Amino acid sequence: MTAQIIDGKNFAVALRERVAEHTAYLKQQHNITPGLAVVLVGEDPASQVYVRSKAKQTVEAGMNSYQHKLAVDTTEAELLALIDQLNSDPAVHGILVQLPLPEHIDEALVINAIDPAKDVDGFHISNAGLLATGQQAMVPCTPLGCLMMLREYCGNLSGQNALVIGRSNIVGKPMAQLLLRESCTVTVAHSRTRNLRELVANADIVVAAVGRPLFIEGGWIKPGATVIDVGINRIEKSDGTTRLVGDVDFDAAKEVAGAITPVPGGVGPMTIACLLANTVTACCRASALPEPHGLTV
């Protein structure tokens, strides 16, 4: 049996279309244009690529994009002052501070200075708490995209054994909370977990967010399981060029799994699409308008 390939690219295109449609509706019917502010401190090349791509897709969806590029020696106080200004700007519905920040800036302090209602990354402690207690939150983009795809491919997730590998604040922990909310039986594995292979073999759903190339072997996967591979790892090929791979050995796993996301083209494209969706959600909540169907979970 060969697994169904979960096409994150197609999924993201469809989600971005829904975002663009609702943005057009908000403009026409309510004269409101959702706005996303992205703050970048320093010149990290990968962060610059992410920020450009986020801004481009924001504009393509018909929303306003506000970019704030700050010098690497920006002080914490200066950054907090900008966050303050964005918090009180009614044209800004979503604020994203690109991570990582330079070492002299306290990342947690900055994230927690963002108005939780504008925290479209969902990293603010209020949003983490709201999610953990089953209340309306801004849901972190990567786990949100994973859950949307899981719901589509598995239907009702209730009672399924879900294994989340990785316990980071941006992927593993919120993913586990979302799956718990879906009534899965959730196990979280991490760097100190002893029996990972057995846990994988028992899981109907595996979400891998480790950051180790091809770490999860195909033979570990339970036949028919759904595998969501969040990992993005660059490895060198024998000819000296590089390629992107996930945390799961895709070629072997696809022979066993029921459905699996590829890398690239799986979870990655959904992350920015979910950021746009969160911005529209934040805009509707700020304007006391009903939330469109399908942009959050």
Active site residues: 54, 98, 121
- Per-residue interface string for the shown chain with ligand NAD, residues 177-196, x marking contact by CB under 6 A: ------------xxx-x--x
Collapsing DSSP to helix, strand or coil, 238 comes out as coil
Q: How far is the CB of 16 from ligand NAD (least distance, A)?
A: 15
In the complex, least distance from residue 216 CB atom to ligand NAD, rounded to whole angstroms? 9
- Which residue from 32, 139, 165, 206 is in contact with ligand NAD, where contact means CB under 6 A? 165
Please say which residue, 116 or 140, places its beta carbon nearer to ligand NAD.
Answer: 140
Residue 4, strand partner residues: 259
Backbone φ and ψ of 204, nearest 5°: -80, -30
Q: 24 in helix, strand or coil? A: helix
Write b or e for each residue in 260-275: b if 16 or more Cβ atoms lie within 10 A of its Cβ, otherwise e: bbbbebbbbbbbbbbb
Which tokens sit at 33?
């244009």
Residue 266 is labelled as binding a ligand: no
228 backbone dihedrals φ, ψ, rounded to 5°: -115, 115
CA distance 142 to 7: 15
Q: How far apart are CA 282 and CA 21, in angstroms?
A: 16
Q: Does 67 bind ligand NAD (CB under 6 A)?
A: no
134: alpha, beta or left? (left if phi > 0; alpha if psi -120 to 50):
left
* Smaller CB separation from ligand NAD, 6 or 170: 170
Q: Which residue is nearest to ligand NAD (CB)?
A: 168
Looking at the Cβ atoms of 11 and 86, the one nearer to ligand NAD is: 11
Copy the structure tokens of residue 261: 């996301």
Q: Which residue has the tokens 């800004």?
A: 92
**Nearer to ligand NAD among residue 42 and residue 264 (C-beta):** 264
Does position 285 interact with ligand NAD (CB under 6 A)? The reply is no
Residues 6+ apart with CB under 8 A from 216: 165, 200, 206, 208, 210, 227, 247, 248, 249, 253
Which of 94, 172, 174, 292 is in the footprint of ligand NAD by CB under 6 A? Answer: 172
- Binding ligand NAD by CB under 6 A: which of 42, 62, 102, 211? 211
Applying CB under 6 A, does 267 fall inside the site for ligand NAD? yes
- Nearer CB in complex with ligand NAD: 2/53: 53
Q: Which of residues 224-243 bind ligand NAD (CB under 6 A)?
A: 230-233
Indicate the annotated binding residues for NADP(+).
166-168, 232
Give me the residues that bind ligand NAD (CB under 6 A), please: 142, 165-168, 170-172, 189-191, 193, 196, 209-211, 230-233, 267-268, 271
